[in-house]
């Protein structure tokens, strides 16, 4: 499935995991950004990934806790970078290209690189 056709946003897109072109898990579709105007077709402008995208999806008090713990960063993934939508959203590009691996890379710096088989 691709974003050029019609799609059921809630059951076919929202909360799906995202895999980059190297098959690395790089986020969840936390929300979608739509574009359009009255009388015209509504289109998905971007997939929104990150704790900042929870704001419209949970009670305010819960979002305040999330924001305090995880920040309010949002990454926008443009539809042009989506290769396929099935049981996961597969990207044409690497996670780095769309900014989806920043936190992972930051945490990686803390992990010692020895001892593991």
- Give the residue, chosen from 58, 83, 92, 102, that forms a contact with other proteins under the rule CB under 8 A: 58
Spell out the residues 6+ positions from residue 109 whose beta carbon is closer than 8 angstroms to its own: none
Across-strand partners of 31?
Answer: 48
Q: Per rule CB under 8 A, is residue 60 in the interface with other proteins?
A: no
- Give the residue, chosen from 21, 24, 73, 97, that forms a contact with other proteins under the rule CB under 8 A: 24
Among candidate residues 34, 47, 42, 35, the one with its CA nearest the CA of residue 76: 47
Sheet of 43-49, strand order: 31-35, 43-49, 75-77
Q: Per rule CB under 8 A, is residue 32 in the interface with other proteins?
A: no
Q: Per rule CB under 8 A, is residue 49 in the interface with other proteins?
A: yes
Residues that bind other proteins (CB under 8 A): 10, 14-18, 24-28, 30, 49, 54, 57-59, 62, 86-88, 103-104, 107-108, 110-113, 115-117
């Amino acid at each position: 499935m691709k974003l050029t056709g019609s799609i059921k946003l809630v059951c076919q897109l929202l909360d799906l995991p995202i895999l980059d072109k190297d098959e690395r898990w790089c986020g969840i579709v936390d929300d979608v950004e739509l574009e359009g105007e009255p009388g015209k077709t509504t289109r998905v402008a971007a997939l929104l990934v990150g704790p900042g995208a929870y704001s419209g999806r949970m009670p305010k008090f819960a979002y305040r806790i999330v924001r305090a713990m995880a920040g309010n960063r949002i990454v926008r993934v443009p539809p042009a970078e989506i290769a396929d939508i099935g049981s996961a959203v597969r990207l044409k590009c690497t996670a780095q290209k769309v900014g989806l691996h920043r936190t992972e890379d930051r945490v990686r710096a803390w992990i010692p690189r020895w001892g593991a088989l």
